[in-house]
Amino acid sequence: MNQDESIRFAAKYLEDLLSFFGINVAVYSTIDDEVIQLSVPSTSLNSLLIGRNADNLRALQHIVSMALNAKNAEITRVNVDVANYKRQRADRIEEKAEGWIAKVRETGEPMTINLNAADRRVVHKLAQDYSDIETHSEGEGRERKLIISKVTE
């Protein structure tokens, strides 16, 4: 299954999955950095679809990804967002990261922050805009942490 077929299949699969919950919506799909982006519009069941700590969102992503895998799709990485929940969360993380970076720049002391993988990616991407700041992650699994520090010359 090529890239275009993978994107269409993922969107249709998610639409069909949502219909089991009585949610009949068109899923908007794009591709970004070899990840299929699936966007579900706002419905009365947003909280059910997102779940506590976005657990249900991650489960939906996993199910769609496994279905793509089973079809030997060219692209199997999937990001599902409901009612722009993830975009809004990323915006909040970026705001916090601006503060963390400012503090590191001011004090020169590295900062260690415990974030999930998606939030770490947001901070890593933002930090690329600063020539005097570097970020990296240390640890394994749930113990993985983000380190923000000044670039040493």
Q: Residues 79-126: pLDDT tens digits?
A: 899 999 988 989 999 999 999 999 999 998 999 999 888 888 889 999
CB 82, CB 55: distance < 8 Å: no
Closest CA to 35 of 69, 76, 63, 92: 76
Q: Is the pTM of this model over 0.85?
A: no
- Which domains, and CATH codes, for the chain? 3-83 (3.30.300.20), 88-150 (3.30.1370.50)
Partners of residue 100 on adjacent β-strands: none
Residue 147's CB is within 10 A of a number of other CB atoms, namely 15
Q: Using CA atoms, how far apart are residues 49 and 39, in angstroms rounded to an integer?
A: 12
Taking CA atoms, 21 is separated from 16, 47, 132, in Å, by 9, 13, 49
pLDDT band at 10 (very low <50, low <70, confident <90, very high): very high
